[in-house]
Structure formats: C-alpha cells, structure tokens
Structure 1
Amino acid sequence: MSDLFSALLLGILEGLTEFLPVSSTGHLLIAQHWLGARSDFFNIVIQAGAIVAITLVFRRRLWELATNLGDAANRDYVAKLGTAFLVTALVGLPVRLAGWELPETIAPVAWALVVGGVWMLLAERLAERRGDLAAVTWKVAVLVGLAQVVAGVFPGTSRSAAAIFMAMLAGTSRRSAATEFVFLVGIPTMFAASGYAFLELVKDGAVGGEDWAGVAVAFAAATATGFVVVRWLLGYVKAHRFTGFAVYRIVLGALLLVLMPGG
C-alpha cells in the first residue's frame, strides 16, 4: 500500500473518530500497526484538520461570540471557554515537557477503550438523574480542561468522551450543551497542540524528514470527513443517548485484548 493512500485512510479515520466518543488517537494507533507508524506530529496535525472542520461547522456561533462581547452571557461563555483551555495548557504542558509519548503497544489503548465505555454508561445514567441542565458553570469549565489532559495522557480514553461526560456529571447534563462546549474548547486546544508539535519539530531539525505530502492528504481528508461527522453528531445527541458508542468501545477493546493479548 502506498504511503499516500495509507495517509488518506488515516485522515478519514481521524475525521470519523475525533468527535465521536470512541478515541481518535486510540484508533489511529491501532490502524498504524497495519498501515505503518507515523510521527507524533502527523497524528497531532491531522487532528487539527478535524478541528478546522468543527470551526467551519460552528462558524456562526464563533462569530456571534466574537462580535457580541458586550452581551454578559456571551462574555461569560467566552471566559469559561478560555478557562477550560488555560487549565488544559497549564496542566498539560508540564506533562509534555516531562517527555510523555504515545504508547507503542495496543494493550493500554484496549484497556482504556473498555474502561472508558463502562464509565460512559455509568456517567450518563448519573447525569440523567440531575435533569435537563444546559448551563455551563465555572466548575464545568475547570473539569473539562482537566478531562482533556487525562484523555491526552491515556490514548483510548477519548478527549470528547472524557470532557463531555465530565461536563454532564459536573452540572451541564444536557447532552447538546455539553457537546457544544467541549467541541468549542477543542478548537484552541488542538490548534495549540499542533503548533507546539510543529515548534518541537523545527527545534529538533526534523522538518525536512517529515512526510509533508502525507500530512497534507491526511489533513484534507480529516477536515472533509470531520465536517460531515460533526454535523451528524450534533443532530444525533439531541435525541439519542451515547449508549451505542459505549458498547462499541467495550466490544472493540475486548476483541483487541483477546486477539492481541501481547499488545
């Protein structure tokens, strides 16, 4: 299989899984065992491609927030988005500087898929007992930021799943409201992660060694696929639970542990 075609497949996979609560990083690590390993820069940048998609989907909401800061509700919401991002950056940057790297075996990802799926089932049931609350509190903003760091450290956890369910448990029990807040926080978070990865690449003098054609193809594929998936998911969460995604995680993780016990 050609490198460009495998990059295309990885980009499509990223776009399909970045916003679903199934772990895009986990799926990429699994797929790369068959399609060939890629650099951390590749994995992070194609995630940014998916974030471009969500920026396009939420372009009107972003414009409304940016141009109506005179409105107290908008100002408050933007401040909470900024808080969630800062918590992620302040806690996540030291982890990155400490030398954290993605695992090279599948077993940790498989366990994270299973544990995360069980946690999703329990968390959604607990959140539903709180009623239909759409407000995003400061507590929610801080915990969403921390949840993003946890998801980054444990591939297979899923950034969207960890943050959405943390928001639902912390007070924003309405799925659509929690999902929108998490997706909007993901925009600066992933763009910052991609920028940091690029600076590391430049610092290490590895820019010339990166497969830029593959990165470009995967980035474009992730953007196009992600756009479609986000539009679908925003409609889906208004009337459906996340149960199907949780079951999928548990089944996939269990199969990986059975079929590849050595990781």
Structure 2
Amino acid sequence: MDNLLAALLLGIIEGVTEFLPISSTGHLLVAERWLGHRSDLFNITIQAGAILAVVLIYRERLTGLAMSFLRPGESAVFGQAPRDYAWKLLLAFAVTSVLGIVVKALGWELDNAVAPIAWALVLGGAWMLLAEHFAARRAEALGERSTITWTVAVLVGVAQVVAGVFPGTSRSAATIFVALLFGVTNRAAATEFAFLVGIPTMFAASGYEFAELVVESGIHGEDWSALAVAFVASAITAFVSVKWLLRYIQSHRFTWFAVYRFVLGAALLAFV
C-alpha cells in the first residue's frame, strides 16, 4: 500500500479512537498488522494531532479556567466555581505525573501484545456497563450529580496511569467511568473532566516521549510528508469524533461502546 495512504488511514484511526472509550492502542495494533509498523515519532505525531483537536473544541473553556485565577467571577462549570474546577484538574494531572514517574522508574509497562489488549478491551467493556448501572441507580436515588469532587479528581489521576500501564484499557474510558463510579452521575460532566485533564496529560507524555526519542536515537530518516498527512488526518477526525460524542451522550448511554469492545476483544482473541 502507498505510504501516504497508509499514513492517512492510521491518522484517521487514531483520530476516531483516541477519545472514544474504545482504545486507540488496540485499533492501531490491528491496523499496523496490515498497514505496516510505524516509528515512535509517527505515533507521537498522530497523538499530538488528536490532542490539538480537543484543545480547539475546549478553547473557550480552557481560557475561562485560566482566567478564573485572575477574575474569580467567571461563569460556573457544571455548577462549581471555575477556579475550584481548575484546581481539581491540576490535582488530577499532578497525581498522574507523580505516579507516572514512579511507574516509569519501576519499569511497570506491558508489551503491546494482542492477547492482553484483547482482554483489556473485554474487561473494560464490563467495567463500563457496571459504572453506568451504578451511576443510574445513584441518579435515581440522589438526583443528578455533576460536581467533580476532590476524591474523583484523585481517582481520575490514578485511572490515567492505570490506562497507561495496561494497553487496551483506553484512557478516556478509564477516566470517564471512574468519575461515574465514584461520584458523578452526569455523563457530560464526567466526559468533559476526563477530556480536559487529558490535554495536559497527553501533551506532557508526548513531549517526554519526543525528548527521549531525540536523545536516544534522533529523528532522522522520517517521511515528513507521511507525518504531515497523518497529523492533519488525526486532528480533523478527532475533532469530528469528539464533537459527535459530546452530542451523543446527551441522550444516550455508553452501552454500545461496551458492546463494541466485547466484539473487538473477542475477535482479537480469536485472531490470536
């Protein structure tokens, strides 16, 4: 297959799957079996494209949260003060950063083998169904809850690290459903917090990986045209996917994403 076409397809796959709760790692692993394995720089590039899309979608929210430290009167975010919400985002990011450094130092990292990713997809689907079930029961008993608590912020930070250690878990799925299990019953509130805390987390992770790559082996011999095509494709498709998801969850549960994970996980296990 033409290299530019393969790069385009991989960029599209990354953009569609990075923020949907279905695991971009699992999809890219399968795709690379047919489209060819890519360099670390290529993977960093397409992830950066997906992050850029979310920054553009939430640019006004991010500006408001930043300005809340200068102007306390900014409008509320899901019923809570913007400065309070911003501090919770920073706490979740700090927890992820500290635990991420510890995990890196201890060498806790699994290989991107098909079987464990398949099991992570299946178990993640079960986790999603349980989280939605208990969130719905809590909403019936206590009413809808949109406020992100300090406990939820800490647990979201932990969930990001767990998702990094276990490929196939899906960072967005882990963070959204931790929030739903431990305090939030509003799907939109849980999803927005998960996406916002993912921005600094993914930028930091990509920046670290890029710096490590430059120091260890350099970035020579790359097909820059393919990188550009993949970056643009990832950014555009991630923008469309996230906008669609934010509308979808206003009136739908995550059930079909769990079903999709079961099907994909079973197919990968059969492939193995």
Structure 2: distance between partners of 1:44 and 1:205: 15
Question: Of residues 69, 78, 82 in structure 1, which corresponds to 2:86?
Answer: 78
Structure 2: distance between partners of 1:83 and 1:217: 35
Q: Classify 1:15/1:156 alpha carbon distance in 2 versus 1 (closer, same or farther; 3 Å).
A: same
Question: Of residues 103, 108, 115 in structure 2, which corresponds to 1:107?
Answer: 115
Structure 2: distance between partners of 1:56 and 1:175: 21
Structure 2: distance between partners of 1:94 and 1:9: 35
Structure 1: distance between partners of 2:99 and 2:201: 12
Structure 2: distance between partners of 1:26 and 1:51: 18
Equivalent position amino acid for 1:78 in 2:
A
Aligned length: 260
Structure 2: distance between partners of 1:211 and 1:101: 28
- Could you report, residue by residue, the CA deviation over 1:201-238 in whole angstroms, capped at 9, with x for unpaired residues? 11113211444333222111110001111111111111
Match of 1:187 in 2: 199
Q: Which runs of 5 or more residues in structure 1 are unaligned?
A: none
1:51 matched to 2:59: no
- Range 234-243 or range 27-36, more displaced: 27-36
Question: Of residues 218, 224, 228 in structure 2, which corresponds to 1:216?
Answer: 228
Structure 2: distance between partners of 1:3 and 1:89: 36
- Could you report, residue by residue, the CA deviation over 1:5-46 in whole angstroms, capped at 9, with x for unpaired residues? 111111100110111100011211121111111233322331
Structure 1: distance between partners of 2:40 and 2:174: 21
Contact 1:44 1:193 in 2 (8 A): no
Give SS of 2:122's match. Answer: helix
Equivalent position amino acid for 1:71 in 2:
P
Shift of 1:104: 4.1
- Range 91-100 or range 75-84, more displaced: 91-100
Contact 2:8 2:230 in 1 (8 A): yes
Shift of 1:48: 1.9
Contact 1:13 1:24 in 2 (8 A): yes
Shift of 1:74: 1.1
Structure 1: distance between partners of 2:247 and 2:219: 40
Structure 2: distance between partners of 1:214 and 1:84: 35
Q: Classify 1:156/1:179 alpha carbon distance in 2 versus 1 (closer, same or farther; 3 Å).
A: same
Structure 1: distance between partners of 2:40 and 2:103: 15
Shift of 1:94: 2.9
Match of 1:167 in 2: 179
Structure 2: distance between partners of 1:45 and 1:101: 21
Equivalent position amino acid for 2:151 in 1:
K
Question: Of residues 243, 252, 261 in structure 2, which corresponds to 1:240?
Answer: 252
Shift of 1:88: 0.9
Superposed, which structure 2 residues align to 1:132-151 within 5 Å?
A: 132-151=144-163
Structure 1: distance between partners of 2:89 and 2:164: 18
Question: Of residues 115, 124, 137 in structure 2, which corresponds to 1:129?
Answer: 137
When normalised by structure 2's length, the TM-score is 0.91
Q: Classify 1:212/1:93 alpha carbon distance in 2 versus 1 (closer, same or farther; 3 Å).
A: farther
Match of 2:5 in 1: 5
Structure 1: distance between partners of 2:117 and 2:247: 29
Contact 1:117 1:250 in 2 (8 A): yes
Percent identity (aligned): 63
1:252 matched to 2:264: yes
Q: Classify 1:108/1:60 alpha carbon distance in 2 versus 1 (closer, same or farther; 3 Å).
A: same
Give SS of 2:138's match. Answer: coil
Give SS of 1:208's match. Answer: coil
Q: Classify 1:257/1:217 alpha carbon distance in 2 versus 1 (closer, same or farther; 3 Å).
A: same
1:229 matched to 2:238: no
Contact 2:41 2:219 in 1 (8 A): no
Shift of 1:189: 0.7
Q: Classify 1:206/1:64 alpha carbon distance in 2 versus 1 (closer, same or farther; 3 Å).
A: same
CA RMSD of superposed structures (Å): 1.5
Q: Which runs of 5 or more residues in structure 2 are unaligned?
A: 74-80
